[in-house]
Structure formats: C-alpha cells, structure tokens
Amino acid sequence: MTDTISSSLLERLQRHDAVAWQRMVQLFTPLVYQWARRSGLGEFDSADVVQDVFAGTLRGINRFTRVNPGDTFRGWLHQITRNKIVDFHRQRAGSPIAEGGSTANLRLHSVAQEAQFVSDDDAESTECLVRRGLELIRGEFEPRTWLAFEAVATGERPAAEVATELGMSVGAVYVAKSRVIKRLRAELEGLI
C-alpha cells in the first residue's frame, strides 16, 4: 500500500513534496476540469483554468485549514476554481471602464453570473473523485482482487456467483471488496 492517505497527503502538499503534488493533480484534474466545463467554458479555456487553479493551489496550500467540521480540501479547491473562472471571464471581458456607470456594472454582474455552477459537494463531483481515486489505486491490487471488488461493488452480482467464477471463497470476495474500499477511503479521506 502506498503512503498517499490524505492526511499525510495534505501534510506533504504543504511541504511542497513533488510526489504528493503529482498525486493531488492526478486525483483532482478531472473534477476541476468538470467544474470549469459546467461553468460554460470551452475545452481549451477549461484546460487553461485547470492550470491556473493548480498554480493558485500551489501558492496558497499553506493557507488551507479546517476551521469548521465541514471544511474539506475539495471545498477549498472548488473556491479557488470559482475564483479562477471569474478571473478568466474578467480578463476576457476586458477591464471595465470606471466611468461606464451602469454598463460597467452590468458587465461585472454578468461575469459573476457566468461563473456560477453546481456546488462542490454534489453527488456528481463526489462520483468523479471516487472514479478517479479507483483508477489511481487499481494498480495496488492483484487482478483477481480487483475483479472481485468490481463484480460485487455494483451490487448487481451475488458474492457466491463471483466466488465461483473467480475460484475464490465467498469470504475472500468480501475481503477483496473490503480491502479496496478501505484503501479508497484512505486515499480520499478529508478530500471530499
């Protein structure tokens, strides 16, 4: 098992550990990209925003703290993403002219409206992180363990059927599922 459980991952991010940064970027890039796309940005603009988000995250990682019980790294990253999307729209719209009066005010208001999108704690965002987390940890397991997990985790196939197919005991199928879920929880703990 790797040492990338999230409490240590966050600590290593704050120490600017290169391996930790690579893991965080691998884990969160699809989600940040999804947030940018949902805000109405195109494919290439979203990719640019993703880069800006991670550059901002690098600069501000030591300011991330959990003050309230519901504070998460994902929520903090979501706020950075929102800010970078607003910045993108402001840059695209050009600097508003001070004497523009109501016209300039309308432009600024439209920038804020364009950057609104689904909150960071919606089910789709969580699913995106879970899928990505599973992709990242898959290589840590034997193929048979992974097949057993996949087959029973969806709830569509009974453990006894999977056990027979894979030449395992029913108990071993449940252990395989449990090991993968435990590792996934460790990978994502505190991040979602």
pLDDT at 161: 94
Region 6-119: CATH code: 1.10.1740.10
Per-residue model confidence (pLDDT) at position 13: 87
Question: How do residues 46-102 score in pLDDT, each as one tens digit?
Answer: 999 999 999 999 999 988 887 887 778 888 999 999 999 999 988 887 755 455 555
Return d(Cα 3, Cα 88) in angstroms, integer.
36
Helices 170-188 & 123-137 angle (0-180, nearest 10):
110
Per-residue confidence (pLDDT) for residue 118, from 0 to 100 = 44
- Distance in angstroms (rounded) separating the CA atoms of residues 161 and 150: 13
Q: What is the DSSP string of the chain?
A: --S--HHHHHHHHHTT-HHHHHHHHHHHHHHHHHHHHHTT--HHHHHHHHHHHHHHHHHHGGG----STT--HHHHHHHHHHHHHHHHHHHHH-PPPGGGTHHHHHHHHHHHHHT----TTSHHHHHHHHHHHHHHHGGGS-HHHHHHHHHHHTSSS-HHHHHHHHT--HHHHHHHHHHHHHHHHHHHTTT-
**Domain range annotation of the chain:** 6-119, 141-192
Q: Which residues of the chain have pLDDT under 50?
A: 1-5, 97, 104-118
